Amino acid sequence: NAGVTQTPKFQVLKTGQSMTLQCAQDMNHEYMSWYRQDPGMGLRLIHYSVGAGITDQGEVPNGYNVSRSTTEDFPLRLLSAAPSQTSVYFCASSHGQGSSYNEQFFGPGTRLTVL
Amino acid sequence: RKEVEQDPGPFNVPEGATVAFNCTYSNSASQSFFWYRQDCRKEPKLLMSVYSSGNEDGRFTAQLNRASQYISLLIRDSKLSDSATYLCVVNNAGNMLTFGGGTRLMVKP
């Protein structure tokens, strides 16, 4: 049981390049989400999904796209990288939704630098 | 005003000390509350949930004050291994979590 995995661990992009951050989980969790973490800002929600085929925007969605074709995978695409997207990106997953909380499990993160 | 606010610290304490962190939240309709721990350059991990009546897990005690909209975490008998950043997390609706900026704790020998 690998939990939540993310690739790559590190990435350097030039302004304007595009790329996809990969996220996969093997816990059969319905809910998956992407966060970015910047110094002093805490984690901010980019996009989330409550199940295969269903995605929605979080707090800071601009410049990012997501899709959820399977329960296991939730890739994050940067359409045209900008220096403001330099950050650490975490993927997370949990069971279910609604008012009852389910523990969120985080992947190890992807450290992205945009030059 | 941030939805969830924490003193960033760092809190520098000797081993064996008792240390407390507070966190305030702005949404009075918030439903669930948590403390996560994040080690340097690692992912956050759930430390404990915070219940209305207060709850304890070993050396850790969490309290919730809904009237004043703040959450606290008390760590007794601090260990070197407690050095980390502690994130206050609030669940406002469904599974949408809002994170505070974190409080950094450094426990010294």
Interface A:B, Cβ pairs < 8 A: 53
What does the pLDDT read at residue B51? 86
Over range B24-50, report the average pLDDT.
92
For chain A, give the longest Cα–Cα distance. Answer: 42
Which pLDDT score, from 0 to 100, does residue B64 have? 95
Task: Please give the backbone phi and psi of residue A83, each rounded to the nearest 5 degrees, phi first.
Answer: -55, -30
Higher pLDDT, B29 or A69: A69
Amino acid at A64: Y
Give the per-residue pLDDT at A39.
82
Q: A97 and chain B: CB distance < 8 Å anywhere?
A: yes
Name the residue in chain B with its Cα closest to that of A111.
B41
At residue A100, the pLDDT reads: 46
Chain B partners within 8 Å of A107 (Cβ): 43
| A49 and A81 Cβ atoms separated by less than 8 Å | no
Which pLDDT belongs to residue B96? 76
A102 interaction partners in chain B (CB closer than 8 Å): 95
Q: What is the mean pLDDT of each run of 10 residues along chain A (115 residues)?
A: 93 97 95 91 90 93 97 97 97 71 86 97
Residues of A in contact with B29 (CB under 8 A): none
Nearest to A46 by CA among A83, A21, A9: A21
For chain A, counts of helices (H) and of strands (E) = 0, 11
Long-range pairs for A69-73 at CB < 8 Å and ≥24 separation?
A71/A28, A71/A29, A71/A30, A72/A24, A72/A25, A72/A26, A73/A22, A73/A23, A73/A24
Q: What CA–CA distance (Å, rounded) separates A70 from A85?
A: 26
CA-based nearest residue in chain B for residue A98:
B94
Give the number of other Cβ atoms within 10 Å of residue A53's Cβ. 11
Rounded Cα distance between B75 and B61, Å, is: 7
CA dist A3 to A20, A53, A93, A111, Å?
A: 20, 21, 9, 19
pLDDT of residue B1: 67
pLDDT at A16: 97
Backbone angles phi, psi at A52, to 5 degrees: -55, 130
**Residues 62 through 91 of chain A touching chain B, CB cutoff 8 Å:** 90
Q: Would you state the pLDDT for residue A99?
A: 42
Per-residue pLDDT tens over the stretch B73-103:
999 999 999 999 999 999 876 657 889 999 9
